[in-house]
Structure 1
């Protein structure tokens, strides 16, 4: 289960940008509206067979980037949370989109894409270290289940030598 869908990625960032990164064949056959239509399972009758086939290949690249993002996220948060996390907190969806976008760029990432990737990785590192939490799901308010072990907390000691007043 991915933390974000192809449609989440396309709507969070420019559909043309994602289409350009996902369709690497020149001349390009996949553009934003076609990729959005494929991602949202819309009617594709306005497109020819070759365009739809190329869009399918582009969607495979998008899904691979989303899967890579999910795997990276899981490697950081698996020590703190039970996987898979459902419902997906909004922060995880954003992180998955930032990471997937970076993975789609390969070696040609812009400074903005690199900065967002670096910030996402730092936040994941903070979650792993216990400095940050994923927060509640925006729709339900439900916290992700933690896989942290049991913790024993007690008050101060009841019996102490200096308080026994000759008893011990």
Structure 2
């Protein structure tokens, strides 16, 4: 599920900035498919974190995830350019990644409405189940004691 659209990305960062980042042939027109791919990659990265805690797809897309998706997409687009352009994008990407880690741990909430029916509420996925070491003591291992 995409967490941000091309229109949302252009609204947040500006259409001119998106054209500057993706204009490979110098005609002043951005490469919308390249932007769409960066947004898809950002959504995949977000899903990787959220799947540890939430059942996907989410019933709604919180605005927090729209911002995170946009920041990750711009970082991905900037990573294709020369190194000097990436410093601010790297900081935003690292902030977005730390926020996703906090969402996965449950220390930050998505703020999904509490009025969703129980069936639509996000549920922890099986990926969130903890797997520990094998038991030291068991019935078969303590027979005769």
Q: TM-score range by the shorter chain?
A: 0.7 to 0.9
Moved over 4 A (4+): 140-144
Contact 1:98 1:113 in 2 (8 A): yes
Unaligned runs of 5+ residues in structure 2 are 126-145
Count the aligned residue pairs. Answer: 120
Aligned-pair Cα RMSD in Å: 2.3
Tell me the secondary structure at the aligned position of residue 41 of structure 2.
Answer: helix
Which structure's CA Rg is the greater one?
Answer: 1
Q: 2:87 aligns with which of 93, 111, 117?
A: 111
TM-score (norm 2): 0.74
How far does the alpha carbon of each residue in 1:112-161 deviate from its partner, in whole angstroms, 9 at most, with x for none? 21111110000001111221121126xx9759832227xxxxxxxxxxxx
1:148 is the counterpart of 2:124: yes
Report the equivalent of 1:153. Answer: none
Report the equivalent of 2:53. Answer: 80
Q: 2:74 aligns with which of 87, 101, 109?
A: 101
Report the equivalent of 1:132. Answer: 108
Unaligned runs of 5+ residues in structure 1 are 31-54, 150-168
- Using CA pairs under 8 Å that are at least 6 residues apart, name the structure with larger relative contact order, 1 or 2: 2
Within-5 A mapping of 1:1-168: 1-25=1-25, 27-30=26-29, 58-107=31-80, 108=82, 109-136=85-112, 145-148=121-124
Deviation at 1:16, TM superposition (A): 0.9
Contact 2:5 2:39 in 1 (8 A): yes
Tell me the secondary structure at the aligned position of residue 135 of structure 1.
Answer: coil
